[in-house]
Structure 1
Amino acid sequence: MKNIAVEIKNVRKVYKLFDKPTDRLRESLSFTHKNYHRDHFALEDISLTVHEGECVGIIGTNGSGKSTLLKIVTGVLNPTEGSVTVNGKISALLELGAGFNMEYTGIENIYLNGTMMGFSEADMDKKIDDIIDFAEIGDFIQQPVKTYSSGMFARLAFAVAINVEPDILIVDEALSVGDIFFQAKCYRKFNEFKEKGKTIVFVSHDLNSVLKYCDRSLLIHHGKQIAVGKSSEVIDIYKKILANQYDENGPVEPSQEVSAAENKPEEIWKEKLVTNPQVIDYGEKKAEIVDFAIVDEKGMITSTIDKGSRCKIKMKVFFHDTVQNPIFAITIKDRKGTEITGTNTALEDNNLSTGKKGTTATAVFEQRIDLQGGQYLISFGCTGYELDSLVVYNRLYDACFLEVFSAKNTIGYYDMNSSVTYEK
């Protein structure tokens, strides 16, 4: 059995919330010890054991308590209850550039951070070249960090954290601003760390990275520990949370069949997706997109799809007026807004002849998902031609979020599904 690097036992973090500042004073001066606050449980009964050499992921939705837990592990915060034991020197990237002085140069900040970690100037003299080489920010190393781009900031912060020879590295979303080459370099360093028997605790919304690099994962939801175990199994539970299909009061039920969803007119599909609260919605609305869904192979409405699997993208349109030959369309973009792929019923040569006033029609696009693992946005449209002019009845730009999970990505936007053989 490997030695324990980090042990978290029954950790709870409670914050007192006051409706107004004077309530804090009234409570502190109350002779009857009357409470003027309400308790907010940021974390409730969290336990996790991380062994030497492991890379453990911590996942959950925004506000679930992930960063709070890491701050407790690193000593930035104290738990309300429970205990945390850390065996070894710890280096943390909790917030990008935390501990940096914006007026200091990159070189000066390297020594400043080294001092904060307990290293002498002589120690940092030995490490300075490795840190500068890893950061790859050139002459900017001599400039104040306030002049840095976010990418350079990330490079320097990670270079310092990774090259001070910690036993335990804590990373909280610090790589999201780096470019793909820098991220690849950091992940290679992760693997080097693991090979040396070092420990990594990794918080990220990039579930593909968690799946690829983390031996085990902890899932936190609303401050509560939901699951700890093999990353692929924990991510499967997280998918249900993202699809609003996780029951906190009981076991996860088998996936919902498509036919069942279609036979429940009162059910709103998009409520089970991660939708855009600021979706761009326009058109003259003779036909209106009233609902949409992403349905996986098991019939579950979900915002997450496994790469290589088949899925259905559905859009339901209500006709406020009779429309001849309406065209239904879907488009998939990456996070930068680049259109990756898409189609419509005209391109597929399968248009609806007539959309009658007062009726609905549901177009179902079924396809195999060979997109690389990552995060995408789906747009929907319903258009048509009137007197040879294209009329936009309704378009929903960036209506919902799609995440493709993959344990293996190739180059570019999609996987060619190549097979490799060798000939003599």
Structure 2
Amino acid sequence: MTNISIKVKDVSKIYKLYDKQIDRLKEALGKRKEYHKKHYALSNINFEIKKGQTVGIIGKNGSGKSTILKIITGVLKQTTGDVFISGRISALLELGAGFNMEYTGIENIYLNGTMIGFTRQEIDDRLEDIINFADIGDFINQPVKTYSSGMFVRLAFAVAINIDPEILIVDEALSVGDVFFQSKCFRKFEDFKKLGKTILMVSHDLSSIAKYCDKVILLDSGKKVAEGKPKEIIDMYKKILVNQLDAGKEKQQKVENNQIEGKWNDSLIVNPDKVEYGSKLAEIIDFAIIDEYNNITNNLMKYSEFKVKMKVRFGEEIEEPIFAFTIKDLKGTEITGTNTMLEKVNISIIKAGEIKEITFTQKMNLQGGEYLLALGCTGFRNGEFTVYHRLYDICNISVISHKNTVGYYDMGCMVEVL
């Protein structure tokens, strides 16, 4: 155990679920009959984290990520199993956890420091560093109930990271801060790694997981699916998101040969608030985003090859239709895209009743982040530009990156210093 910071052994967390409140009372009064159902928030979880490792835990909502962190930090008690900790823990869990809303920022610094086990003198020695890192100005002397969520996370992280912990545990809290504060926090992560400290983090930001973690643990429905190198585990997580974790070579080949059963977009997270319009003389009836492993997914690795596919059904005979896709940022700015006319793909007359499958293949050079996909089928009918069918913001594309440059697009720069 000398090289182990955290060891989780056979840990389960079981909640009792009751259909009616009266059933809880009946059971509490000692009735022999059980009125509850057992819900396993965690089921027989095992893993070890070595000193100096940065480890990420990923999984869908409800997979048990936050529950295991709360058990490790002592906020929750496991139903069965054991947790062994070697080193002083500082944890940043739910926003504002451990804060008294009526106290000022300064008072909450002393409150949190005392809860961790510091003396007043030890907190005094760190106070200036905490205040400078939080960088919330005069609000440090105001009650935290007046803080914005951004101020909350700034102060909470400043306290957590400046009390010299041996183990830092962070649960999704950094997603609240602005981009500059997040950058400052991740620089602190790098400093921690260099000092040989242990970091355990939960995040939906797969780019951060890929960039900073030495190891990743994947949870699903309260069970540990796997642990290993970030790219390997992120690939597994992508399959879980589209219910393809157990898909074998046969199913992947069907995707590759455009023969997958059912609708392609059933395997995607589709935007319920999409914008759709057009005459529908030609209609987009299906679409897909396909990664380098031929899996249909919303998640793509930066620098990988991927495909955008659509299936279009023609209600009437149409001459020289134009098929297009566009990728936009979350503000609606068009970042990139193309169409068959720009690509000089010659398409003649398509007859009524025909269904065409269109595939755009390209390399993902966008920076890590979230984007939106738009699809379209247009053309010129009787000399007039006509929109047959457009689907705006039909689904998201999450780009997972180990390295980002400046701006939206990575030019793949090679650097030489002589």
Range with greater deviation from structure 2 (227-236 or 41-50): 227-236
Q: Does 1:21 align with 2:16?
A: no
TM-score by length of 1: 0.91
Is contact 1:101–1:109 with CA below 8 Å preserved after alignment? yes
Is contact 2:323–2:377 with CA below 8 Å preserved after alignment? yes
Which deviations, in whole Å up to 9, do the C-alpha atoms of 1:117-143 show, x marking residues without a partner?
232333222111000111122222223
The 3-state SS of whatever aligns with 1:239 is: helix
Give the structure 2 partner of residue 149 of structure 1.
Answer: 148
Give the structure 2 partner of residue 316 of structure 1.
Answer: 311
Give the structure 2 partner of residue 136 of structure 1.
Answer: 135
Q: Does 1:112 align with 2:120?
A: no
Distance in 1, Cα, partners of 2:284 & 2:34: 50
Q: Does 1:257 align with 2:284?
A: no
The 3-state SS of whatever aligns with 2:375 is: strand
Q: Does 1:360 align with 2:355?
A: yes
TM-score by length of 2: 0.92
Q: Does 1:293 align with 2:310?
A: no
The 3-state SS of whatever aligns with 1:244 is: coil
Give the structure 2 partner of residue 93 of structure 1.
Answer: 92
The 3-state SS of whatever aligns with 2:174 is: coil
Is contact 1:64–1:223 with CA below 8 Å preserved after alignment? yes
Task: Tell me the amino acid that sits aligned with residue 245 of structure 1.
Answer: Q
Is contact 2:58–2:204 with CA below 8 Å preserved after alignment? yes
Root-mean-square deviation (Å): 2.3
The 3-state SS of whatever aligns with 1:276 is: coil
Give the structure 2 partner of residue 227 of structure 1.
Answer: 226
The 3-state SS of whatever aligns with 2:379 is: strand
Range with greater deviation from structure 2 (355-364 or 85-94): 355-364
Which deviations, in whole Å up to 9, do the C-alpha atoms of 1:342-389 show, x marking residues without a partner?
222233233643443322112211111111122222122223344555
Task: Tell me the amino acid that sits aligned with residue 145 of structure 1.
Answer: V
The change in CA–CA distance for 1:306 and 1:159 in structure 2 (over 3 A counts) is same
The 3-state SS of whatever aligns with 1:349 is: coil
- Structure 1 residue 68 displacement after superposition: 0.7
Distance in 1, Cα, partners of 2:323 & 2:57: 40
Is contact 2:239–2:295 with CA below 8 Å preserved after alignment? no
Task: Tell me the amino acid that sits aligned with residue 364 of structure 1.
Answer: T
Give the structure 2 partner of residue 398 of structure 1.
Answer: 393
Distance in 2, Cα, partners of 1:2 & 1:408: 34
Distance in 2, Cα, partners of 1:304 & 1:224: 22
Task: Tell me the amino acid that sits aligned with residue 18 of structure 2.
Answer: F
The change in CA–CA distance for 1:367 and 1:37 in structure 2 (over 3 A counts) is same
Give the structure 2 partner of residue 167 of structure 1.
Answer: 166
- Structure 1 residue 91 displacement after superposition: 1.0
The change in CA–CA distance for 1:102 and 1:408 in structure 2 (over 3 A counts) is same
Distance in 2, Cα, partners of 1:261 & 1:278: 31
Give the structure 1 partner of residue 9 of structure 2.
Answer: 9
- Structure 1 residue 259 displacement after superposition: 6.3
Distance in 2, Cα, partners of 1:255 & 1:419: 38
Distance in 1, Cα, partners of 2:250 & 2:52: 35
The change in CA–CA distance for 1:346 and 1:16 in structure 2 (over 3 A counts) is same
- Structure 1 residue 254 displacement after superposition: 7.3
Task: Tell me the amino acid that sits aligned with residue 20 of structure 2.
Answer: K
Moved over 6 A (4+): none
Is contact 1:374–1:405 with CA below 8 Å preserved after alignment? yes
Distance in 1, Cα, partners of 2:255 & 2:197: 49
Distance in 1, Cα, partners of 2:383 & 2:23: 67
Runs of 5+ unmatched residues, structure 2: none
Is contact 1:151–1:177 with CA below 8 Å preserved after alignment? yes
The change in CA–CA distance for 1:337 and 1:105 in structure 2 (over 3 A counts) is farther
Task: Tell me the amino acid that sits aligned with residue 181 of structure 1.
Answer: F
Range with greater deviation from structure 2 (121-130 or 219-228): 121-130
The 3-state SS of whatever aligns with 1:403 is: strand
The change in CA–CA distance for 1:297 and 1:51 in structure 2 (over 3 A counts) is closer
- Structure 1 residue 57 displacement after superposition: 0.8
The change in CA–CA distance for 1:121 and 1:28 in structure 2 (over 3 A counts) is same
- Structure 1 residue 219 displacement after superposition: 0.6
Distance in 2, Cα, partners of 1:5 & 1:255: 41
Q: Does 1:380 align with 2:380?
A: no
Distance in 2, Cα, partners of 1:204 & 1:408: 17
Give the structure 1 partner of residue 81 of structure 2.
Answer: 82
Which deviations, in whole Å up to 9, do the C-alpha atoms of 1:195-221 show, x marking residues without a partner?
222111011111121111111111101
How many pairs were matched up? 418
Distance in 1, Cα, partners of 2:251 & 2:194: 39
The change in CA–CA distance for 1:202 and 1:67 in structure 2 (over 3 A counts) is same
The change in CA–CA distance for 1:254 and 1:74 in structure 2 (over 3 A counts) is farther
Q: 2:262 aligns with which of 267, 288, 312?
A: 267
The change in CA–CA distance for 1:280 and 1:22 in structure 2 (over 3 A counts) is farther
Percentage of matched positions with identical amino acids: 58
Distance in 2, Cα, partners of 1:344 & 1:78: 56
Task: Tell me the amino acid that sits aligned with residue 206 of structure 2.
Answer: L
